[in-house]
Amino acid sequence: MSEEEKRLDISEIIAKINPHYDKPIWEHTLIYDSTSEQLEPIYFWILDFVNDLFNKDVTKIIDNFSASPGSGYFGELGQKAKIMQEEGMKILNVVNSVIKSVINILYSLKEFEIRLDQYDLAQSKNARDHESGVLGLKQIWMDKVDIQRGNTSIKGMASQFMYATLIDAFMAVKRLSDVDRLDLNDRVKRILKPRVAEFFVWKEKSEKELRKRFEIEKSYLKTQVNSLRLYSRWAKPYLRAAEELMMKGRSREPALVKAFNTILLELTILGKSTINIVKEVDLENLPKSFRNLKLKRKYYSCVFIDFVFRGIPSRSPQGHYIFGGRTEVNFKAYSLNEDEMKVFEKELDKEDFRDALRLTEIVTEETFNQIIEDIEHFIDTGKKEKETKQKKPEKKKKEPELGKIRKDNFEESVIRALSERTSAAFCYKIYDIYKKSHGMPSITEPDWQLPEKWRIPK
């Protein structure tokens, strides 16, 4: 089975993060098999209950669907995706044009900046820097301005008419009056004087003009960058919608027969609750000595609820589709600390179900991110320099990595045990109350079913 068709398994990811959890702490399964029983009421009842139970700390982890090619639902979603793609690509064409413009402006600004560095050096009070700047400008003047004279330029005369000392003399003089003090014949001095005078006039006027153009280009860059951000925001909703309407590859899934009218839905939500040490001490679930314990990382009681639905889409009189079929709901309890949760989120980012969001970001922002450093250099230079002086560099906290998570110490192991017990109780509570509220048989005294260390607190 290809990576595209492989179904994301939350249990496998958690087992990689913490090998102790080769299976969930606690697990329950509910199965409905009825063409009249729809997924929406089941999903939203559980979602609302979990939101209340975990104080709205609930996240959708997976949201995938696949439809058989022969179904009407497949064709209708394909048409909607096509419209979103076309609208997004129209805006992206404009984005690409603006990006090209921004790149050209950045190239020009870098050229201006290199040239202005020579003017800044020429104005330096440091003798060595001043000399370096003036010599650099003289070289630019000979290559860009004087060379237009052709054979009568300084370089042209030096190479063709045996004025070998002309270039050295021009580079050596620091002011016009220095020409008369040079040990040269009068013919060379008469050629050199107007060139030296012209250079100093050019130096003054070209600097003013160059700085003016530099500021104009920076203003134009701001305008283009703002346009780029605006067009990117416009394109994102269309691209995101188009990708979210794309179906997950399931060509080898036996339930998806090409000629049948079938749909598969996969949904997973995560509810988590942070262990409050002071509260648990007051409830006598933790020793009193833990009251002032300062943990370096939080511990979460987590419940994953996995919905797998195989149904037959049918159009209602109102025009939208309704789904009846087989629904399997799995409730799984785990305990994760803060480092494990961060690694879990990183691992999720690598999975296929995040590709839609990532593609949107790549198309509209990745190219922009490649040049953002240059853009900020020219637009926010003063602001960044001021902030650098005011702020001290902060030490970055090392991010946890898979296989390198620090093991629990003694106090953390006690918190972990409590977190496991709490997550098992949460998992059972969701399952039990759902069954009771829907008239299904359930256990009236749940405590006896739980192991001693996971008994629900009184």
pLDDT at 329: 93
Domain of residue 115, residue span: 89-237
Q: Does pLDDT of 304 surpass 90? A: yes
Lowest mean pLDDT among 148-162, 299-313, 376-390: 376-390
What's the sign of the alpha-carbon dihedral 432, 436, 442, 448?
A: positive
- Does residue 232 sit in the same domain as residue 265? no
CA 1 – CA 7 distance, rounded (Å): 10
Which pLDDT band holds residue 50 (cuts at 50, 70, 90)? very high
Across the chain, what does the average pLDDT equal?
A: 78
Lowest mean pLDDT among 61-70, 179-188, 334-343, 375-384: 375-384
279 belongs to a structural domain:
yes
Extended strands (E) in 203-349: 263-274, 299-315, 321-337
Residue 325: closest CA among 261, 269, 267: 261
Q: Where is pLDDT greater, at 366 or 147?
A: 147
pLDDT at 454: 43
211 belongs to a structural domain:
yes
30 belongs to a structural domain:
yes
- Does residue 218 sit in the same domain as residue 270? no
The predicted-structure confidence for 397-417, as pLDDT tens digits, reads as follows 677 877 788 898 999 999 999
- Does residue 210 sit in the same domain as residue 277? no
420 belongs to a structural domain:
yes
383 belongs to a structural domain:
no
> pTM to 2 decimals?
0.56
The predicted-structure confidence for 9-19, as pLDDT tens digits, reads as follows 788 889 999 99
Tokens found for residue 263: 């749909």
The neighbour count for residue 319, using CB atoms within 10 Å, is 6
Q: Does pLDDT of 181 surpass 60? A: yes
Residue recorded with tokens 């709901």: 329
- Does residue 212 sit in the same domain as residue 326? no
- Does residue 94 sit in the same domain as residue 155? yes
CA 270 – CA 42 distance, rounded (Å): 16
Which pLDDT band holds residue 390 (cuts at 50, 70, 90)? low
Q: Where are the alpha helices (DSSP H) in 292-409?
A: 338-349, 355-361, 367-379, 381-390
How many domains would you assign to the chain?
2
pLDDT at 334: 95
- Does residue 177 sit in the same domain as residue 302? no
114 belongs to a structural domain:
yes
Q: Give the C-alpha distances (Å, rounded to integers) separating 248 from 61, 264, 352, 354, 378.
A: 15, 10, 9, 12, 43
Residue recorded with tokens 């509209």: 364
244 belongs to a structural domain:
no
Is-contact 454 420, C-beta < 8 A?
A: yes
What's the sign of the alpha-carbon dihedral 9, 10, 15, 20?
A: negative
Residue 10: closest CA among 451, 351, 261, 316: 351
330 belongs to a structural domain:
yes
Any idea what DSSP says for residue 184? -
Is-contact 134 140, C-beta < 8 A?
A: no
Q: Where is pLDDT greater, at 114 or 85?
A: 114
Q: Does pLDDT of 456 surpass 80? A: no
Lowest mean pLDDT among 93-97, 242-246, 413-417: 242-246
- Does residue 137 sit in the same domain as residue 195? yes
- Does residue 230 sit in the same domain as residue 194? yes
- Does residue 275 sit in the same domain as residue 331? yes
Q: Give the C-alpha distances (Å, rounded to integers) separating 312 from 34, 261, 268, 318.
A: 11, 6, 21, 17
Residues 113, 119, 122: CA angle, nearest 5 degrees: 145
- Does residue 268 sit in the same domain as residue 344? yes
pLDDT at 241: 61
- Does residue 60 sit in the same domain as residue 93? no
